[in-house]
Chains A and B, each alone.
Chain A
Amino acid sequence: MNTNKNSYTVIYTIVLVAIVATILALVSMGLKQKQQTNIEVEKQLSILSSANLAQDVKSAKDKNSYVQGEFAKYITEALVVNAKGEVVESCTEDITKSGAFKISIAEEYAKMRDIDAAKDEAAKESLINELRLPVFVCNMPDGGMRFILSAYGAGLWGPIWAYVAVKKEGTELSGAIFDHSSETPGLGGEIVTDKFRNQFVDKVIFDNGEICEIKVVKGGAKDPAHEVDALSGATITSTSVQKMLTQWFNYYKPYLQLIVDGSGNMPEPGIEVKEFEQDPEVIEL
């Protein structure tokens, strides 16, 4: 057979591409559901771990169903709040399908960068109004309550993000969890370790209507309420953590005030929740 003819080459290419594309499309469609679940479960696990729940995940036989079960058990409400502290959406069932769970914190972070770059106050104002921040309300096994907030920022090489659990009083953290996409393993990558994240327990973040910055300091933290040890050899990642938390807490500030006032998870029944029912498309997003 003459394999050098033009027509043969063209037909060969078409057939090859068709076969390859079919195989790939089939496999991709077949595995899509599983991949999506993995991504969801990872997020659920981060949210739970920030409140020190789902500790047995390593020994769990079926990681996915264990995490999904724990999530459904303890995370009882998901809220979307704006930068004024108003609850835009609230959801108490099927939280993985809620608007709060589907918010991409990366996109919200992009909005925050636009806000910082905005030239005039009016533009800034309207951008700030567009911010949507997720809050997860967690009912602890011991009867306590946690408000889980998120944060996202730039590390040394790529993005870093966090979930932090705020105690019921709204002023102190009860825990935090960090993750990253491409920090140096063993240096900046250490932000995922328990050693680093456990330092955030009992840190004061909100006092007298003002956000208190959690300072990441080199060579031994002295103030147990406001300082944590930086990671050795990873100055930039450490300061990025500090910057990220402060930035997000400042947008959460009005909402934190609500928590302090004791109405964090109870938006005035009526307006907001109704709005959410009238506008089902918002949930579908």
Chain B
Amino acid sequence: MSRGPCVAALVGNPNAGKSALFNALTGARQKIANYPGVTVERKAGRMLLPNGEPVELVDLPGSYGLDATSPDEEVTRKVIMGEQHGQAQPDVLVIVLDSSNLEQHLVFAQEVLELGRPTVVALNMVDLAERDGLVIDARALQNALGVPVIPTVAVRRRGLDELAQAVAEARDRVSETAPVHRPHVTLPERRLLAHEMAHGAILSETARHRIHARMDKVLLHPWAGPPILFALLFVVFQAVFSWAAPFQDALDGLAGSLGDLVKTEMAPSLLRDLLTDGVIAGVGAVVVFLPQILILFFFILTMEATGYMARAAFLMDRLMAGVGLSGRSFIPLLSSFACAVPGIMSTRSITDPKDRLTTILIAPLMTCSARLPVYAVIIAAFIPNRQVGLVGLQGLVLFALYVVGIVGAMAVALVLRRSVTRGAASGFIMELPKYQLPTVKDLALGLFQRAWVFLRRAGTMIFTVTVALWILLNFPRAEAGQDQVNASIAGHIANGLAVVVEPIGFNRDIALALIPAMAAREVAVSSLATTYAVGAGDDATQAKGLADQLKSQWSLATALAFLAWFVFAPQCMSTIAVTRRETNGWKWPGFMLGYLFALAYLFAGATYWTAVALGLG
């Protein structure tokens, strides 16, 4: 065997604490990508052996067995067997066991050990087991399994050096000894052996009442559980929309002053316009959403790390089952309220492919934060600011727009599950992990990774699209005295588009705004602002100025139709791009574009015609 760079892989059941161990072993030196051809995340990092030699450590998706039931488990199996394209077979396998769940985790461990690969076992989370009154004899387990067993506490960095040492030793033994072949046993036999081994290794077990059982008594309580979940969600939303505001303003201001700086420093030229109007304004418009996404993910990562997310999925399962989905879809849909892009990426945790596809297709209907600026401007301009009972009319309209999105998504899911994504009723089988305190380091690392992924993906996409749109808006050049927008390619497209959208109450200015808004919805606001030639200032005055302009140019029916349009319209290139990536082709993003535009057209039309009939035209 050649002495190339050594590869080790972490293998284990879900909830064995693999990720925390991976973070502790590799620190921030991680590379996250996809395995080629599948949308399974490949997490790899560099870990150092005691002699200073680097080892590539791969964190394999959690698995219950080598018979794969999901794309994730398929990747785990293939990597272990050395069949995964683009991944060298690991020299050493590190099986990660949850100390307080040995009986269950030893079943898969035995299956892996049967392969006879060089293996080390990390007896993880021994501290949590002790908290539950469970003391494990690692030596007894080592004797039973016949491979080194190292007790670890990833969070407190306990046992990490010993684990690295054991990996080094196991690696060195590779070339010398032939693989140990163990007899193949059936699943029931394996389970019996696991039971015996687990009980043989337990030194003492006090019947201390487990903390998580008591917490579940409250959090999964039929009457207390759902109100707690909804109260929590309310706090999350509140945080996403109010805590983020100062940071968003700061980022917005930063983009603005950067644009001004370029304007004053560079001589007027096409290149300068491209930089300020195209690159800085366009990319800035997306980066502004970073604070919201970070806050949302802070909550989502915390909910996941504490183990509450699985409970939320449990509580929501019945409601989701009503439209043919399962509790697992709840997390991606929740994320989509900030942005559909991370939402669609997190559908990977859904095992059923039809379920996953349905969730991806309805994710854009969740009212993402990019719609807010559009809603805010239109509502401020057209909806009178008066009280209806206890609540303001403006807030009520905003709330209604959210509800229409959710109801629309549920209705679409119902239809899709009976037509395009028809299949066996999706089940819901999910382990409810133990409650744990999240660690600051793991949270910070998780947030940093999400932020980076968002900035890179959205950034590159937005960059390309804004440049393309800028070119469409600026070429061919207008002759002197002629309007540039009218002369441009985009202007011509808008004139054509206006014919199509006129029946639903849209004018040419709206048609023109819809084109750049394909890049990102909120661009519609700035496009309208430019079209109506409002003097650009800071956002607040711009919105106010624009509101007055809109009021004089649009009827109420048109404004309502415009709002209805934005509830459904797939006005976001990043979402389309991420859908293409996650579904491996253009078929489903194409379908998504088609059905969402059709719905948007119908609903905007229905709104307009109804409003006109009511005399609001």
Answer yes or no: are A and B bound together in one complex.
Answer: no
Residues in A lying within 8 Å of B, measured CB to CB? none
